Structure formats: structure tokens, C-alpha cells
Chain A
Amino acid sequence: MNSLPIFKRLVEKPWIWSYVGMIVVWLATISYTGGKGGADVLTAALSFATFTVIVGIGQMFVITTGPGNVDLSIPATISFSGAVAMKIMDGSNSMLLIGLIVSLGCGLVVGVFNYMLIRVLRIPPIIATLSSSFLVLSTAIAYGRGLKIKPPGLLAEFATAQIYGVPILAIVVAGFAVVMGVVLNRTIYGRSVLAIGQNMRAAWLAGIKVEKIRFATYVLSAVLAALCGFVLAGFSGGASLNMGEEYLLGSIAVVVIGGTSVAGGKANVPGIWGAAMFMFLLVTMLNTFGASAGVRLILTGLIIVTVITIAGGDKPQR
């Protein structure tokens, strides 16, 4: 085997740059600390990236169905599902399964509601998911008032457990990402999502059940957001009402940085992991350098704008 073609093939992968960025940022961090804490930083990055990856995959499927498709209700769904799950389980291990089912059910309801708004009321997805997120967030606030319930011991243990410095949750979600990669590239559902994103009309003429696929996609995104809320509440020792906040930018940013086309029709799963790690390591690096909160915010924003500028918006196909 010649090594050059492999290298060339790697460079052509859209997700490779997120991994390059991740390694550069990590090296910059550990060279600043003189090599200390390099492994700990990676462990922390794996832990926190996991949650962004879960919602990022859902957001990726939504964005891939074409321009104008985006799920802005993810943060509200995370908070809602976390609050409901914590309250139902009430810290008891025996309720774990029921809590998970109810939590995923919350996601299912939000997803179906989102799609109803889009389909029945013909509201553009951005406005539809935004309006429903207001309702969901209010429900979470009203329901979770004064919520200070610890997650069941088993869930907290599972969410924070590590093997040789690798979080168990990260391994599970990595496996899930592989499955979703296969779903995207090798199943009728995944191929249909890509086809709709490339040209909705052509996909419809080719006999793809466009509306069924879109329905499944919005439900998938909401259910994954609910799942994220469930494990995130376990990880951080309870649900809080603003715990979903950072995932609005997070979920969209990892999709874009990971090399998925925002114009739809082109997606990849590996990039989401790379981008999620990159985003966390970037903040860690800026913290290590002693940057103030203001500088950190500015650089985070500028990097997202720079990445999207370089990636460019593909001309929408019509």
C-alpha cells in the first residue's frame, strides 16, 4: 500500500479539519503547561463532548434535510426532559427505567409537536421550533420549580464512571455514533435524508416519502435532546432549568465545524466528535492561557464565524 493516497484521501474528508483543530489546540494547551495534565484534559473533553455529540447528531440530521431546517428547541427539550426525569425517579434506582422511558417520551411529544407546527400550520421550521421551545421551557420552569432532586445513584455512577481515564458514557456514545453513521450512509432512511437535502422535489419525484422522513427526523432530534437531558442531569448531579442553554450554539456549531453542509444534503458523523472535542479543548486552552471571560466569548464566536466562512455556504441546489 502506498501511503500517499491514504493521506490524500484523508485530506479530502470534510471532517478531518475538526480533528486537526482538536490536536493543535490540545498541543498548544499542554505545551503551555509543560505537558502536565494532558491526559486529564482529554478525559474532561471526552466527558463534556459526549453531551454535545448526542444533540449534535440529531441536529445534523435536521440540518441535512435542507436549507431552513434547524431545530432551535433542543435547549428547552434538554431542560424539560431532565427536570421531568429527575422528578419522576426521585433519586430511586428502581425507577431508572421508567424515568428513561418518560424522558424519551417527553422528547417524542416535543418532536411530534414541532412537526405538526411545520406541517399543519406551515410555519417555517426555525419559527416553529422557536415557538415550541418557548412553551416547552415554560412547562419545564413551571414543573421544575424549586427542583433540587439528586439523580438515582446508578445513573450518576454510570454517567461519571471511567475505565483507564476514558468515560464509559463516551464509549457508549461513540458506539451510538457509529450506528448513526451506518444509519446515515447505509439505510433507506439515511439515504432519503441526504436525497431530500440535495433536492426535495427530485426526492419526492423519485418516490421518497418526504414528509414521513422529515417527521422522523424532527422526532429523532427531539428524542436525542431528551436523552441528552436525562444523562446530563445524571452527570451534573441533578437537573437545572438552564442546563440546556449552551447547546443551542453547541449543537449547531459542531455540525458546521464537523464539515456537514449547512445547505443540506451532505453530512458526516465523525466530524461531530472532532468538533465537539475541539470546542471543549478550545475553551480549556483559553482558560489555561488565563484569558478573561470576555476574550473567551469573543474568540469562541470568531472561530465559529471563521470556520463557516472558510467552509462557505454551498450554492443551494434548485
Chain B
Amino acid sequence: MIAYLTSPKALRAALPAVSFGIILLIIWFYSPFAVSYMGLNLMLQYAVPITLATIAQMFIITVNDLDLSIGSFVGLTACIGATLLADTPILGILALAACVAAYVAVGALIHWRNLPSIVVTLGMSFVWLGIAVLVLPTPGGTAPGWVKAIMGLKTPFVPFPIVAAAVIGIVVHFALMRSSYGVVLRGAGGNPKAIGRAGWSLLKTKMVMFGAAGFFGVLSGLALIGLTSAGDAHIADRYTLFTIAGVILGGGEFVGGRVSPIGAVLGALTLALTPQLMGFMKIPTDWQIGALGGILIIVLALRVLINRREA
């Protein structure tokens, strides 16, 4: 039992949970009241959209790509949600479906021409931002009532953001880690040649993963306007960085289809708490992004130490 608990595999899996726990513990140390139903509800308010976007990024990383456009994509879906979806729901749903279809097309293009995803998604980030600016030139609009109602849910005992994050994590875990097609999808990142030889379509795996990322991007945008109740093309610009950091913090490897949905959710929660932690520790906001970089480097360094024992 102890041998298992200290094995590299178990340590690696525990790392995201431990880092989240440590941050929570430090916050509790500074202000015990913060770690209560009300406090957590407030502190983790924005955790839901970040978690959804992080899962989207994780899908892309699973197939060895990287999405540098997820931030502006979430911004676009937020703008559509705050305008079209609120005014003419049918048109809004069609527009959001078209966004997901566009993601599928990007995935297909990347596979078809064997393109580097960072260049393609960097280009697409301008396209999403441009469309968002056309849809909603100045910040505004209103979120549909039902979106606001969902995001404002008061769950008993456990704050809504935690419940939502848990549900997201478990659903994606079963779809990606426990289903048979999930194995194929991860295999497409781990050993594409083997998956291709076994008769699976690599084009299809890429399209499925990009489509899933697009879908979660849409959910993230909607969750975001449910909280802010208005849209803005630049509302989620920082999400691109946050989501990559979240996946890595959550134990995702950069290549090889080694990802962990539960870990990614914990990584996203850790990221959502970091600004609060810095607030409690009275660290100037200037260092907020820097702290993100520092945490990333520390976690990656720890992981190297763990992996070295495995080798």
C-alpha cells in the first residue's frame, strides 16, 4: 500500500490535488472565514468558465496540438450569447453550432495538411476576435435569463462552482478515460501510427477532439456571461494562457495523449484561487501573471523529480 502511494504514478496523480489543497490551506491560514460556503462561492465564482475552457484545451492537447485561440473563441461565444442568443434564440443556437463546426473544420485542416497547430490557431484567434468585434463592437448586451439562472444556482451544503467542477470532471473522465472510443482518442495522441494501422481514422479523431473543444468553448462563453451578464470581445483574452497552465498543472503531458480530466479541473480551480491567494498575502497584482509562471515552473520541476525516480 505504502509502496503504491509513493510510486511515481500515484505521486504524479496526486500532485494537482496536493497543489490545490496547499493553496486552500494557505488561504485558510490567512482568513479561516474565506473557506466557508459563502467564501468559496465568491472566491470560486469564475472557476466554472475557466474549468470548461481548460477542458477544451485539454481535448486539443490530447491529440498533440495546442490551441492559442481558445481565449478569443470564448470571447466570441460570449458575445454571441449576449446578443443573438438573448434576442433571437434560434439564430443564436445556429450561430453557436456554426462556431463548433468551425472548430471541427480547423481540426480537419490541421490533420489534412499536417499543419502546426500553434500557427493555425494563432491565425484563427484573430478571426474569432474579428467576428466578435463585428457581433458586439462595444461591451454590452445581456445574457439570456436561463443562463443567469443556472450560474446563480444555490446548491445545498457544497457551493455551486465546486459541484459544477466535479460534475464536469467526472463526466469528461468517463467519456475520455473509461470509454473505448476515449482510448482511441488518447491513442491518437500517444501513438498515431498504431491507431492508424489498427484501422481507426485519425482525421475523425482530430475532428471529434476539436469539435469537443469547440463545444466546451461555447459552454465556457455562456457560463462567463451568466456571471458577468454582459459580453465583450476581449472578455476572455487571458483564458488562452490560463487553460494551457491549467492542463499542465493538472498533470497533462504536453505530448503523447497523457492527460487527466480530473487533474485539469483541479488545475483550473487552483488557477481560479491563485489571485485570491495573492490578495490575502498582499502581493501586488503586478505579480499575478508572474506567480502563474512561477507556479507552473515549480510544478513542472516537481514532476521532473518524480519522473526521474521512475527512470
Instruction: Provide the residues of chain B in CB contact with A124, threshold 8 Å.
Output: 254-255
**B123-165 contact mask (Cβ, 8 Å, vs A): 1 or 0:** 1111111111110010000000000000000000000000000
Quick check: is B180 within 8 A (CB to CB) of the other chain?
no
- For this complex, into which size category does the number of interface residues on chain A fall? 35 or more
Establish whether residues A134 and B131, one from each chain, have CB atoms under 8 Å apart when the complex forms: no
Report which of B124, B132, B134, B296 forms a contact with A305, defined as CB distance below 8 A: B124
Quick check: is B95 within 8 A (CB to CB) of the other chain?
no
**B293-311 contact mask (Cβ, 8 Å, vs A): 1 or 0:** 1101100110010000000
Quick check: is B197 within 8 A (CB to CB) of the other chain?
no
Quick check: is A262 within 8 A (CB to CB) of the other chain?
yes
Question: How far does the alpha carbon of A70 sit from the alpha carbon of B156 in the complex, in Å?
Answer: 48
Q: Which of B213-259 contact A (CB under 8 A)?
A: 241, 244-245, 248, 254-255
Output the least CB separation between A239 and chain B (Å).
16
- Also in contact, A294 and B123, with CB within 8 A (given A134-B241, A308-B115): no
Q: Which of A270-313 contact B (CB under 8 A)?
A: 292-305, 308-309, 312-313
Q: Which of B78-131 contact A (CB under 8 A)?
A: 109, 113-116, 118-120, 122-131
Establish whether residues A134 and B248, one from each chain, have CB atoms under 8 Å apart when the complex forms: no
Quick check: is A213 within 8 A (CB to CB) of the other chain?
no
**A123-143 contact mask (Cβ, 8 Å, vs B): 1 or 0:** 110110011111101110110
Of A30-38, A162-170, A248-256, the one contacting chain B is A248-256
Output the least CB separation between A73 and chain B (Å).
10
Instruction: Provide the residues of chain B in CB contact with A212, threshold 8 Å.
Output: none
Quick check: is A145 within 8 A (CB to CB) of the other chain?
yes
Question: How far does the alpha carbon of A302 sit from the alpha carbon of B130 in the complex, in Å?
Answer: 11
Establish whether residues B290 and A127, one from each chain, have CB atoms under 8 Å apart when the complex forms: no
Report which of A70, A121, A123, A305 forms a contact with B120, defined as CB distance below 8 A: A305
Instruction: Provide the residues of chain B in CB contact with A292, threshold 8 Å.
Output: 133-134
Instruction: Provide the residues of chain A in CB contact with B22, threshold 8 Å.
Output: none
Quick check: is B36 within 8 A (CB to CB) of the other chain?
no
Of B1-9, B40-48, B260-268, B281-289, the one contacting chain A is B281-289
- Also in contact, A126 and B254, with CB within 8 A (given A142-B286, A262-B119, A313-B116): yes
Quick check: is A42 within 8 A (CB to CB) of the other chain?
no
Report which of B109, B128, B284, B294 forms a contact with A142, defined as CB distance below 8 A: B284
Question: How far does the alpha carbon of A123 sit from the alpha carbon of B293 in the complex, in Å?
Answer: 13
- Also in contact, A298 and B127, with CB within 8 A (given A121-B297, A309-B109): yes
Instruction: Provide the residues of chain A in CB contact with B127, threshold 8 Å.
Output: 297-298, 301-302, 305
Establish whether residues A121 and B304, one from each chain, have CB atoms under 8 Å apart when the complex forms: yes
Report which of B124, B137, B293 forms a contact with A132, defined as CB distance below 8 A: B293
Closest residue to A249 on the B side, CB-wise? B122
Output the least CB separation between B77 and chain A (Å).
16
Instruction: Provide the residues of chain A in CB contact with B130, threshold 8 Å.
Output: 293-301
Closest residue to A313 on the B side, CB-wise? B114
Question: How far does the alpha carbon of A131 sit from the alpha carbon of B293 in the complex, in Å?
Answer: 4
Quick check: is B27 within 8 A (CB to CB) of the other chain?
no
Establish whether residues B119 and A138, one from each chain, have CB atoms under 8 Å apart when the complex forms: no
Binding site for A on B (CB under 8 A): 66, 109, 113-116, 118-120, 122-134, 137, 241, 244-245, 248, 254-255, 284, 286-294, 296-297, 300-301, 304
Binding site for B on A (CB under 8 A): 67-68, 70, 117, 121-124, 126-127, 130-135, 137-139, 141-142, 145, 248-249, 252-253, 256, 262-263, 292-305, 308-309, 312-315
